[in-house]
Amino acid sequence: MANKLYPDATAALDGLLFDGMTIMSGGFGLCGIPENLIAALRASGVKGLTCISNNAGVDGFGLGLLLETRQIARMISSYVGENKEFERQYLAGELQLEFNPQGTLAERIRAGGAGIPGFYTKTGVGTLVAQGKEHKDFGGETYIMETGLVADVSIVKAWKADPYGNLVFRKTARNFNPMMATAGKVTVAEVEELVPAGSLDPDHVHTPGIFVQRLFVGTDHEKRIEQRTVRQREAV
């Protein structure tokens, strides 16, 4: 078996990074983001990045860390509303931005990973998103063509992995991670726990190991909560 295990994020990214590359980064908001890998990207100094990620982190955390250091040149995202530095760079023309509807983004990544170069969807017909795209009618309804996305490197976050790279995600931290794992020429997985071979139920594997080339156990996961909402216990 090829060894997929690396000691840490820096080692796991070694030899993969170059200026101007495209990186997919998993997560929704700050949930399920590869914290150690983002920190290692920042420390590497790699720049001119195109980042494909549903969101852009917040100021000082998540992909916000790479915006601070101007390492990102272009973002493909569905929603970036939580980041003031992003806003400043975008309005100053320092950062390119391509908005995709969230489902279109998810499907473009899924398609890219599955070797599907394009597909048609109703989402965005009649909006700015449809401009310049091929339109085609199916059964009397109009659809637009969207293209598949791939990345030089995908960085994903999982809960558990075995040494073969089989991944299990936890709750809503799954989000974009499984599709991104399929769409990276090289996929690096940051996990909370490495379990022995044979201890994951094969019926419960979310991402089969074929999609994961490198993995390591992350440390000091902060798992910052963006909106802490609670309810009160009713008095008995």
- State yes or no: residue 148 binds other proteins (CB under 8 A): no
**C-alpha span between 202 and 208 (Å, rounded):** 9
- State yes or no: residue 193 binds other proteins (CB under 8 A): no
Number of residues lying near other proteins (CB under 8 A): 58
- State yes or no: residue 3 binds other proteins (CB under 8 A): no
Among positions 92, 230, 235, 236, the unique one binding other proteins when judged by CB under 8 A: 230
Residue 173: other Cβ atoms inside 10 A:
18
Among positions 52, 63, 173, 189, the unique one binding other proteins when judged by CB under 8 A: 173
Instruction: Kindly state the DSSP code that residue 204 receives in the 8-state scheme.
Output: G
Among positions 5, 21, 68, 99, the unique one binding other proteins when judged by CB under 8 A: 99
**C-alpha span between 140 and 137 (Å, rounded):** 6
Stretch that binds other proteins, among 17-25, 148-156, 176-184, 212-220 (CB under 8 A): 176-184
Among positions 127, 147, 193, 219, the unique one binding other proteins when judged by CB under 8 A: 127
Which residue bears the tokens 């089969």? 208
- Alpha-carbon dihedral angle through residues 189, 182, 99, 54, given to the nearest 10 degrees: -30
Alpha helices in 19-176 (DSSP H): 35-44, 64-68, 84-91, 102-113
- State yes or no: residue 174 binds other proteins (CB under 8 A): yes
Residue 59 backbone zone (phi > 0: left; psi -120 to 50: alpha; other: beta): beta
Closest distance of CB 100 from other proteins, Å = 8
For other proteins, the closer of residues 30 and 37 by Cβ is 30
The footprint of other proteins on residues 8-47 (CB under 8 A) is 28-32
Closest distance of CB 188 from other proteins, Å = 18
Which residue bears the tokens 């914290």? 35
Stretch that binds other proteins, among 12-20, 37-45, 59-67, 105-113 (CB under 8 A): 105-113
Amino acid at 11: A
- State yes or no: residue 228 binds other proteins (CB under 8 A): yes
Q: Which of 191, 206, 193, 186 is nearest to 36 (CA)?
A: 191
- State yes or no: residue 124 binds other proteins (CB under 8 A): yes
Which residue bears the tokens 């109009």? 142
- State yes or no: residue 89 binds other proteins (CB under 8 A): no
Mask: binding to other proteins, 153-172, rule CB under 8 A, as x and -? ------x---------xxxx
For other proteins, the closer of residues 19 and 222 by Cβ is 222
Residue 162: other Cβ atoms inside 10 A:
20
For 160, the token pair is 């558990």
